[in-house]
Amino acid sequence: MNNILFAKANFKILDKEFATHEILKIKEDYWFWDDYRKTNMLSLMTKNSVPGVQGTVNSQEGEFNWVAYTPNIIREWFEDEIFPWMGCKTRIMALITHPEFSNGEHIDCDKHQVGTQQHKFRVVLQGKTDTLYYKTKQGDIHVPDIDEPFIMDGGWPHGMTNDSKKLKLTIAAGAPWIGNESYNNIEMLMNRNEYTLPDDLSIYLKS
């Protein structure tokens, strides 16, 4: 399944409006700025339930558990629907992008991992999916606008511009999960074999 660039994942959808409300009432003190991706982040599941930017360090010892303030609606949806499908627990973050603001164009893996399977699981609680785009030799390619959760290739350079009047809120599951060997509930919407990577990837990688 390493040819997925963007695919719709068919799951029982959670109540996005209520989930958004519950996330946004968490104290702003727990949010932090990620300078690489140019977005605000909130740790929801981390090693040892560590909040804040410290929770993004997967190399520390311990098990993945929910941070205390994570809303029940998010916990229950992942525990009942997503983790059994993934086959593991993994780091879960909430990402906020303010109106008329662009995230930094980046790659969500190390240089030596580019070209390997680097699937990321996302669900947009508020906003549109088609503000996300990939950098290709053919130019910027926007993904389709869908309501469902999706799988994206994090090993391909991508960015996002929130062109709406509302903030965009996304729940993101990433490493150490990098995808499954096969899926029985997805619809391929963009195949990476149909596009070509830009020549210079160094400008998108974390220095």
The mean pLDDT of the chain is: 91
Q: How confident is the model at residue 74 (pLDDT cuts 50, 70, 90)?
A: very high
Q: Kindly report which listed range (26-30, 33-37, 163-167) carries the lowest average pLDDT score.
A: 33-37
In the chain, what are the domains? 4-204 (2.60.120.330)
Q: Is the pTM of this model over 0.85?
A: yes
* Distance (Å) of CA 180 to CA 83, 89, 121, 150: 12, 13, 11, 14
What CA–CA distance (Å, rounded) separates 91 from 56?
7
* Distance (Å) of CA 196 to CA 2, 5, 141, 143, 182: 15, 11, 11, 15, 23
Neighbours of 69 (CB within 10 A): 16
Cβ pair 122, 152 in contact under 8 A: yes
What CA–CA distance (Å, rounded) separates 109 from 58?
13
What CA–CA distance (Å, rounded) separates 149 from 65?
22
